[in-house]
Structure 1
Amino acid sequence: MSRRLVVEADGGSRGNPGPAGYGALVRDADTGRVLAERAASVGRATNNVAEYGGLVAGLQAALDVDPTASVEVRMDSKLVVEQMSGRWKIKHPDMQQLAVQARKLARQLGDVRYTWVPRAQNGAADALANSAMDGRPVHRDPAAEAVVLEDEVQPSGASAQVPAPVVTTVTHLLRHGQTEHTPERRFSGRNELPLSRTGRAEADAAAHRAKDLGIEVVLASPLRRTRETAEIVAGVLGLPVALDDDLVELDFGDLEGLTFDEARTRHPLAARRFLDDVTVPAPGGESVADVSARVARTRRRILAEHAGRTVLVVSHVTPIKLMLAAALGTGDEVVHRVFLEAASLSSVAWSSDGRTSVRLVNDTAHLR
């Protein structure tokens, strides 16, 4: 049975809109023990936007505590609870963006449900929100601090507990080489097109670049173009290729094989909604948010199974962009703001203390 956590979240604004801030905390559902506390200003905003800020911060804190946990979110904002439960529509643009972030985090947890509580039962989160509005941000993990205190008061002569060393895992993210779709900029999702002659040359160039990267593991999407790219690189490195279904490209459904202009002509409304909103699926296919959820799964799997190693991930535009978005702490909308060439290399270092460092984005030096 998965661990049960409770998130208590609140937000406020002195002026509505005015100086605003949020507060959130995570408790163990069985013991009531506070495991994490968060409070921060959101600048000038409304109460509702601040409330959503508290929700996002609380879900992120719960994810940091235990990504497999079942979570109950308790808030005294009936608006947020009803909207996140899918019963009320979200019309405010800022709230829509925050709701997307919250849903992305919720999909990475074991299970999330939302409960309205009277304001009197949300005092701890309210106090944190007021602390934020007073200019006193909070980022505490009391459970972790308790361990440190226990170590500090340990009697002399007792064996001291040494903190776990920080382990850094490096992922080199390689987009596959060109296919016949690439130069024409066609939606290319779940098809099984092979690499073109140019694509195979690009994969070979990437392989020789990879020889200097200290790669120990090669993972790839099982689609033909990524599999062929990975096999060329792994052949030069003398490593096997492990396939991961969560690394496949977004399913573009009815847009598959179309150019952007063709998509807008044949599916004007559906294409526009898909390109404007990361939560809206392509007609007959997936949404960016759907891909984000499975990329989060594979990222956690990589960091757990290959901790401290250097991993080559051969994938597609959307999964690689979403891996970069996770490292940068941005929303899924970044997929529309980053361009990745065929056979380009991006790199991220993930530390076990939660820090990340994006080292390369869309590097094509090996193709010149």
Structure 2
Amino acid sequence: MSRLFLVRHGETIWHAENRYAGRTDIALTPKGIQQAGRLARWAATTSIQSVWSSSLSRAIKTATPAAEALGLKLQTDDRLLELDFGRAEGHTKSELQTIMPEALAAFRGDPVLHHMPGGEDPVTAAERGLAALRSIAAPLPPHGHALVVAHSTLLRLVLCRALGISLSRYRDLFPTFHNCAITEIEIRPNSAVSLLSFNAPLPLPTKETSL
């Protein structure tokens, strides 16, 4: 069996403003860069054997310091990209209430059956994301570990799919992935998945190690 550490990228300005940021390539804030540094210091204390991220820069720049701390090459997989939010990209919920109130109400009722107009089908996103995690776990040695830096909505959908939970409940059961918190899953040889921890915070930096 293998274990994966699932991590949402560091903070971006759109996420700080609570804007939908799916495929739009938004840079990390200074706080997000600090979070990536803390992730790297934590990773250096582990036996992680591979580091993966989506190909969006916010994920790459979060994962790169961790890969360097471990002496590993960062690998990317487009199946780890965030859900495409279509016409909701770049908007806050209050803005969407004005722009597309009916679509927003339907989304709140069932975010899978009524996903954002012009956006990606969450079922498709869940399948590609889970396939990526299984392919990352497959070459690991027994009891091996990998770090995967991706995105909040994708990871919540993947958890639901992997655990046999209705995708429509992803917003209720997993309200968010905190930036650079650690969620750990175990993938067994028969592909069964167990959730070991969710949103565990990184250790706080000490005066000596703070950026």
- Report if TM-score (shorter chain) is over 0.5: yes
In 1, the alpha carbon distance for the partners of 2:164 and 2:13 equals: 34
Matched residue of 1:305: which SS? coil
Pairwise CA distance, 1:312: 0.6
Gaps of 5+ in 2: 206-211
1:255-314 per-residue CA deviation (whole Å, 9 max, x = no partner) reads 111111111221111222233321333111113222112113213322333363311110
1:303 to 124, 127, 137: 137
Aligned residue identity for 2:160? A
Deviation at 1:354, TM superposition (A): 4.6
Query: Structure 1 residues 285, 327: CA separation in 2 closer, same or farther (over 3 Å shift)?
Result: closer
What amino acid is aligned across from residue 196 of structure 2 in structure 1? R
State the partner residue of 2:208. none
1:280 aligns with 2:114: yes
Aligned equivalents of 1:317 and 1:346: distance in 2? 11
Q: Which segment is superposed worse, 299-308 or 219-228? A: 299-308
Amino acid at match of 1:331: S
**1:108-257 pair list within 5 angstroms:** 168-257=1-90
Aligned to 1:321: 156
Write the distance in 2 (CA, Å) between the matches of 1:275 and 1:291.
18
Q: Aligned equivalents of 1:284 and 1:307: distance in 2?
A: 41
Question: Which structure has greater strand proportion?
Answer: 1
Aligned to 1:345: 182
Deviations 1:69-113 (A, max 9, x none): xxxxxxxxxxxxxxxxxxxxxxxxxxxxxxxxxxxxxxxxxxxxx
Residue 100 of structure 2 is aligned with which of 254, 262, 267?
A: 267
Report the TM-score when normalising by structure 1: 0.52
Give the superposition deviation at 1:367.
4.6
**Cα deviation 1:15-41 (Å, max 9, x = unaligned):** xxxxxxxxxxxxxxxxxxxxxxxxxxx
Aligned to 2:195: 358
CA contact (8 A) 2:129 2:158 kept: yes
Paired amino acid for 1:258:
H
Q: Which moved more, 1:185-194 or 1:307-316?
A: 307-316
> What number of residue pairs does the alignment pair up?
201
> In structure 2, what residue type is equivalent to 1:202?
Q
Equivalent position SS for 1:362: strand
Contact 2:127/2:161 (<8 A) preserved: no
Tell which deviates more after alignment, 169-178 or 298-307.
298-307
Query: Residue 203 of structure 2: SS of its match in structure 1?
Result: helix
Supply the AA of the counterpart residue of 2:136: I
Which residue among 323, 330, 353 is the counterpart of 2:165? 330
**Given residue 147 of structure 2, which amino acid in structure 1 is its aligned partner?**
L
User: Identity percentage over the alignment?
Assistant: 32
Counterpart among 123, 126, 131 of residue 289 in structure 1? 123
TM-superposed CA distance for 1:322, in Å, is 2.4
Aligned alpha-carbon RMSD (Å): 1.8
Q: CA deviation at 1:208?
A: 1.0
